[in-house]
């Protein structure tokens, strides 16, 4: 029917114009009026589509299933600091007697995958609040004013939903807030600036003595990029760092995510926690998931220790590749990796977890180290040993082949970064100095001096173990992978023969 109605209407208009022309009536004003009406209708239609788009974004702001702090592994310090801040909402009457103002905003900062989003969900559950979540990118559009409007709608929706459900509090979580909260460049006409200004206005308008009370929780990986007006007290009152978990935290996270995994009785979670140094919570969850996938590939009903060990390698470096190398390349790679492994065992006994020739990611081989304890403070001796281990691969190649290969590139980059850390911390011959006072030539001079000295030391150390290289080379090439204990037994047997 609409099709025929349009055709009939068009026919009527044509007939009307023909009749008016026949009577000698000037129809140009009428045509201009119809054109103006068409433009207005098109503008109204575009505005309606834009509003519908905003509504669709708003519809993606969803609630959360119950999630408590007990479901988050590790992060005991961050959870304790967050719970203290949340108690200002839960115990509102008690803190009002002391004149304490409840917080308006809490900023969670830290590397990706450490559980910032999970902590926001747990905060809503802890305070029995309505939970609304959105990403910073949802407020950014090419149309000026759309982001600011969505900020207003988000706060309105939080109050409306809390009143509807009879809740006293509402928690709004904005992930990746640096997208809309970045430092302003002085202009006031950018869409980003208008969105940030609206967010600042809404936070200023949060009255903590009114119901429902609103708490804004935001997360970012780049706190240094946020605008100072957003970080000041009265807006984000508390900044909580959510860091990578230590060994105890990693074990807690692994135990949480292994509850639904059928593990073999001989699986040692403490060993996995030791080998996964530097992993985030998301990576640890992926380790258990990939371990279960390896068990499924082998058709086994239980996840075994070696499955989880392979999963650590996959999460750290990627899946094995089908890259085929020549015999000469395999021998060179084996010598290179043995250089790393032997130096590591000599400088830090028991630190090697695995030596492998299996190509993963962009590496033809690798040595995975197993730190006995998590380190957050480093001495000069420790850093020099770290550089010697990194240089040992190139030193071993020079010892057997008389030259280096491109496989040492990452080792040299790592060594240079450690030298920079030593200079910035006053652990080199130049003493305490500001890095801005260092010229490129001076950097090159200091780096060359430190690296050349340590390269000489590691070459001397490895030259005394040349027989150990030849003893381990064929075994590594044949097996492709040597566990830490196997490698240490080979070293012990060779030393007993030499003695």
Catalytic residue, from 202, 337, 345, 397: name it: 337
52 or 481: which carries more pLDDT confidence? 481
Give mean pLDDT, residues 167-193. 78
Domain housing 55: 2-59
pLDDT digit string (tens) for 134-165? 888 777 765 556 778 888 888 899 889 988 98
pLDDT digit string (tens) for 398-452? 999 999 888 889 999 999 999 999 998 989 888 888 877 888 888 899 999 999 9
Share of the chain above pLDDT 70, in %: 85
Q: Is residue 322 part of a domain?
A: no
Q: What is the pLDDT of residue 212?
A: 83
Residue 443, domain CATH: 1.20.58.760
What is the model's pTM? 0.72
Is residue 497 predicted with pLDDT exceeding 60?
Answer: yes
Is residue 303 predicted with pLDDT exceeding 90?
Answer: yes
**Do residue 360 and residue 286 come from a single domain?**
no
**Do residue 154 and residue 209 come from a single domain?**
yes
User: How many CA within 13 A on the CB side of residue 195?
Assistant: 24
The helix/strand/coil state of 178 is helix
pLDDT digit string (tens) for 254-276? 999 999 999 999 999 998 988 88
Is residue 105 predicted with pLDDT exceeding 50?
Answer: yes
Q: Which residue has the tokens 């094995």?
A: 320
Top-confidence range, 75-84, 134-143, 146-155, 338-347: 338-347
Average pLDDT, the chain: 83
Of 183, 211, 241, which residue is a domain's last?
241
Read off the pLDDT band of 52 (50, 70, 90). Answer: very low
Alpha helices in 324-433 (DSSP H): 327-347, 380-401, 409-424
β-strand 130-135 against 169-175: which pairing, if any? parallel
Q: What is the pLDDT of residue 387?
A: 96
**Do residue 264 and residue 333 come from a single domain?**
no
Q: What is the pLDDT of residue 269?
A: 93
Alpha helices in 348-408 (DSSP H): 380-401
User: Is the Cβ–Cβ distance between 240 and 82 less than 8 Å?
Assistant: yes
Q: Is residue 64 part of a domain?
A: no
Q: What is the pLDDT of residue 209?
A: 62
pLDDT digit string (tens) for 162-178? 889 888 888 999 998 98
Quick check: is 176 catalytic?
Answer: no
pLDDT digit string (tens) for 193-248? 788 888 888 888 776 667 788 889 999 998 888 888 888 888 888 899 998 888 88
β-strand 169-175 against 236-241: which pairing, if any? unpaired
Which of 201, 247, 212 shows the shortest CA–CA distance to 371? 247
Q: What is the pLDDT of residue 218?
A: 92
**Do residue 353 and residue 454 come from a single domain?**
yes
Q: Is residue 463 part of a domain?
A: yes
Residue 107, domain CATH: 3.40.50.300
**Do residue 103 and residue 211 come from a single domain?**
yes
Is residue 456 predicted with pLDDT exceeding 90?
Answer: yes
Q: What is the dihedral of CA 348, 353, 358, 363, to 10 degrees?
A: -50
Q: What is the pLDDT of residue 2?
A: 47
- Number of C-beta neighbours around residue 267 at 10 A: 19
pLDDT digit string (tens) for 310-330? 899 889 888 877 777 788 888
Read off the pLDDT band of 470 (50, 70, 90). Answer: confident
Q: Is residue 312 part of a domain?
A: yes
Angle at the Cα of 273 (from 271 to 278), degrees rounded to 5? 135
Is residue 479 predicted with pLDDT exceeding 60?
Answer: yes
The helix/strand/coil state of 368 is strand
Q: What is the dihedral of CA 67, 71, 72, 73, to 10 degrees?
A: 180
Percent helix, percent strand, percent coil in the chain, to nearest 5: 60, 10, 30
User: Is the Cβ–Cβ distance between 174 and 106 less than 8 Å?
Assistant: no
CA–CA distances in Å: residue 367 to residues 47, 112, 364: 60, 25, 11
Is residue 4 predicted with pLDDT exceeding 80?
Answer: no
| Structural domains counted in the chain | 4
**Do residue 37 and residue 111 come from a single domain?**
no
φ, ψ at 378 (rounded to 5°):
-120, 140
Which of 74, 83, 69, 75 shows the shortest CA–CA distance to 118? 69
Of 224, 241, 258, which residue is a domain's last?
241
pLDDT digit string (tens) for 350-395? 888 889 887 777 778 888 887 656 666 889 999 999 999 999 999 9
Rounded Cα distance between 395 and 397, Å, is: 5
């Amino acid at each position: 029917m609409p099709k025929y109605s349009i055709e009939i209407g068009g026919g009527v208009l044509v007939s009307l114009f023909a009749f008016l022309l026949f009577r000698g009536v000037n129809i140009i004003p009428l045509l201009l009026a119809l054109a103006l009406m068409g433009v207005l209708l098109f503008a109204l239609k575009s505005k309606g589509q834009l509003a519908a788009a905003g509504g669709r974004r708003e519809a993606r702001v969803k609630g959360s299933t119950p999630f408590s702090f007990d479901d988050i592994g590790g992060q005991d310090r961050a959870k304790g600091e967050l719970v203290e801040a949340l108690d200002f909402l839960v115990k509102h009457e008690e803190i009002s007697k002391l004149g304490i103002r409840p917080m308006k905003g809490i900023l969670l900062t830290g590397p990706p995958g450490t559980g910032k989003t999970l902590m926001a969900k747990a905060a809503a559950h802890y305070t029995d609040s309505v939970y609304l979540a959105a990403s910073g990118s949802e407020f950014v559009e090419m149309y000026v004013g759309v982001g600011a409007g969505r900020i207003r709608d988000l706060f309105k929706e939080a109050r409306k939903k809390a009143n509807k459900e009879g809740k006293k509090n509402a928690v709004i979580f904005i992930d990746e807030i640096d997208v809309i909260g970045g430092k302003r460049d002085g202009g006031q006409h950018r869409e980003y600036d208008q969105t940030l200004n609206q967010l600042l206005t809404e936070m200023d308008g949060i009255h903590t003595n009114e119901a429902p009370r609103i708490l804004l929780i935001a997360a970012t990986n780049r706190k240094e990029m946020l605008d100072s007006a957003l970080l000041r007290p009265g807006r984000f009152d508390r900044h909580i760092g959510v860091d990578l978990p230590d060994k105890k935290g990693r074990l807690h996270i692994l135990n949480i995510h292994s509850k639904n995994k059928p593990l073999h009785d001989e699986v040692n979670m403490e060993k996995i926690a030791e080998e996964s140094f530097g992993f985030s919570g998301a990576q640890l969850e992926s380790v258990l998931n990939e371990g279960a996938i390896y068990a499924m590939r082998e058709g086994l009903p239980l996840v075994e220790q070696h499955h989880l060990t392979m999963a650590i390698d996959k999460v750290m470096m990627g899946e094995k590749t089908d890259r085929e190398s020549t015999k000469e390349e395999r021998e060179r790679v084996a010598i290179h990796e043995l250089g790393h492994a032997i130096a590591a065992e000599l400088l830090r006994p028991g630190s090697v977890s695995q030596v492998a020739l299996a190509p993963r990611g962009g590496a033809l081989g690798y040595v995975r180290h197993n730190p006995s304890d998590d380190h957050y403070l480093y001495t000069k001796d420790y850093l020099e040993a770290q550089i010697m281990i990194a240089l040992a691969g190139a030193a071993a190649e020079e010892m057997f082949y008389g030259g280096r290969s491109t496989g040492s590139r990452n080792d040299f980059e790592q060594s240079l970064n450690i030298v920079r850390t030593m200079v910035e911390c006053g652990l080199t011959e130049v003493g305490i100095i500001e890095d801005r006072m260092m010229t490129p030539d001076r950097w090159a001079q200091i780096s060359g001096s430190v690296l050349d000295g340590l390269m000489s030391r590691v070459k001397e150390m490895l030259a005394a173990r040349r027989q150990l290289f030849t003893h381990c080379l064929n075994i590594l090439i044949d097996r492709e992978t040597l566990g830490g204990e196997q490698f240490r037994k080979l070293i012990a047997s060779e030393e007993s023969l030499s003695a």
